[in-house]
């Protein structure tokens, strides 16, 4: 990757190979080698190792006994119902939570971008939910949605609103709603911060020009703010989607995967840790990894194009 990003500017010239050019390329390789090795150590080694494990089965009966099974672990996972159920549930979760986070994050960023007293302080304060450890916030949400005793159920009952008698974490649909809510609460500030950074690079002159041309506030928002914000929103979407597809702690604490909330990572964890099925669990980890990779590639291909277009337009 690092080498590639160095070369585009000189790609055409380097075709006619001359001594200086080759020497320069060697120097480039030497200079990037340490970071490449580092990247290999942090990323490639663990992934390669997991891949290796996933092609084997490790006996749960006899210590040290293992056998090479090729793609059997993958075939078992892909032909059974559990992987696909988790796959669907994870995507449902990611779709719901990321869309909500982007909408709310944009709104929050617009508010934080207004000039008012104490703005700096507020910008710090809104990040607080993001600073809370997810497991801790999950336990808090679990307590709040507890039947009969929970804060939410009690408030709903007292106000005579529907939902007070719902066993939130014990019903299909409701359980997912609580998990999505917990995630939105926690990570909207993160999305807002990225989008806020995008807002701040839009120059005031653009708006002034629009105003002179007689554009309404809404028109300015729809035709200036949103298109120029797109790179920031896409960036937030990529980060959040990748995170959401790997969700583990929220369903683990809130439902243990019951009521249609078992995520891909939870499934892998159960096989690896609880059942010590190292090969099978590694295959699930690799499948999760591939899924997340595929989604990021799609994002960068399609939405990334937008980033380039916008960048060009800006120039």
Ranges of H-type helices in 13-80: 19-39, 45-54, 72-79
Residues 233-262 that bind other proteins (CB under 8 A): 255-259
Residues 84-103 that bind other proteins (CB under 8 A): none
What CA–CA distances, in Å, run from 195 to 89, 149, 182, 208, 263? 27, 38, 21, 21, 28
Ranges of H-type helices in 40-173: 45-54, 72-79, 81-113, 119-125, 128-131, 134-144, 151-158
Q: Do residues 268 and 252 make contact, with C-beta atoms less than 8 angstroms apart?
A: no
Q: Considering only 133-141, 185-193, 219-227, 281-289, which stretch makes contact with other proteins by CB under 8 A?
A: 281-289
Q: Cα-Cα-Cα-Cα dihedral of 233, 235, 241, 247, to 10°?
A: -120
Q: Considering only 84-92, 93-101, 104-112, 271-279, which stretch makes contact with other proteins by CB under 8 A?
A: 271-279
Told to check if 273 binds other proteins by CB under 8 A, we report yes
Residue 267 C-beta: closest distance to other proteins, Å: 11
Question: Tokens 């909408």 label which residue?
Answer: 103
Query: SS3 of 66, please?
Result: strand
**Is the CB of 2 or the CB of 222 nearer to other proteins?**
2
**Is the CB of 241 or the CB of 285 nearer to other proteins?**
285
Residues touching other proteins, count (CB under 8 A): 55
Residue 183 C-beta: closest distance to other proteins, Å: 19
Told to check if 190 binds other proteins by CB under 8 A, we report no
Binding track, positions 129-168, relative to other proteins; x by CB under 8 A: -----------------xxxx-----------------xx
What CA–CA distances, in Å, run from 115 to 119, 120, 161, 235? 7, 10, 37, 25
Q: What does the binding site for other proteins look like in residue numbers (CB under 8 A)?
A: 3-4, 29, 36-37, 40-41, 44-46, 48-50, 52-53, 56-68, 146-149, 167-172, 255-259, 269-270, 272-278, 282, 285, 289
């Amino acid at each position: 990757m690092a080498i590639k990003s160095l070369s585009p500017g000189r790609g055409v010239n380097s075709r006619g190979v001359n001594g200086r050019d080759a020497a320069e390329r060697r120097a480039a390789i030497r200079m990037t080698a340490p970071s490449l090795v580092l990247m290999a150590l942090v990323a490639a080694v663990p992934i390669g190792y997991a891949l290796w494990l996933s092609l084997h089965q490790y006996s749960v009966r006899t210590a040290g006994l293992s056998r090479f099974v090729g793609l059997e672990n993958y075939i078992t996972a892909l032909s059974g119902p559990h992987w696909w159920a988790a796959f669907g549930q994870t995507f449902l979760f990611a779709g719901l939570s990321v869309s909500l986070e982007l909408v709310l994050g944009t709104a929050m960023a617009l508010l934080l971008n207004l000039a008012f007293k104490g703005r700096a302080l507020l910008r710090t304060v809104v990040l607080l939910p993001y600073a809370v450890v997810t497991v801790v916030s999950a336990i808090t949400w679990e307590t709040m949605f507890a039947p009969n005793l929970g804060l939410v159920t009690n408030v709903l009952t007292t106000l005579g609103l529907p939902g007070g008698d719902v066993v939130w974490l014990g019903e299909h649909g409701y359980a997912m709603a609580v998990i999505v809510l917990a995630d939105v609460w926690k990570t909207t500030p993160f999305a807002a911060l990225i989008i806020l950074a995008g807002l701040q690079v839009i120059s005031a002159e653009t708006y002034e020009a629009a105003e002179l041309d007689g554009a309404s506030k809404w028109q300015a928002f729809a035709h200036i703010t949103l298109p120029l914000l797109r790179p920031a929103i896409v960036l937030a979407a990529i980060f959040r989607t990748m995170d959401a597809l790997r969700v583990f702690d929220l369903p683990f604490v809130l439902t243990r995967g019951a009521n249609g909330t078992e995520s891909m990572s939870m499934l892998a964890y159960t096989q690896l840790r609880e059942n010590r099925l190292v090969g099978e669990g590694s295959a699930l980890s690799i499948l999760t990894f591939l899924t997340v990779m595929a989604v990021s590639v799609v994002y960068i291909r399609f939405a990334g194009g937008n980033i380039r277009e916008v960048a060009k337009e800006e120039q």
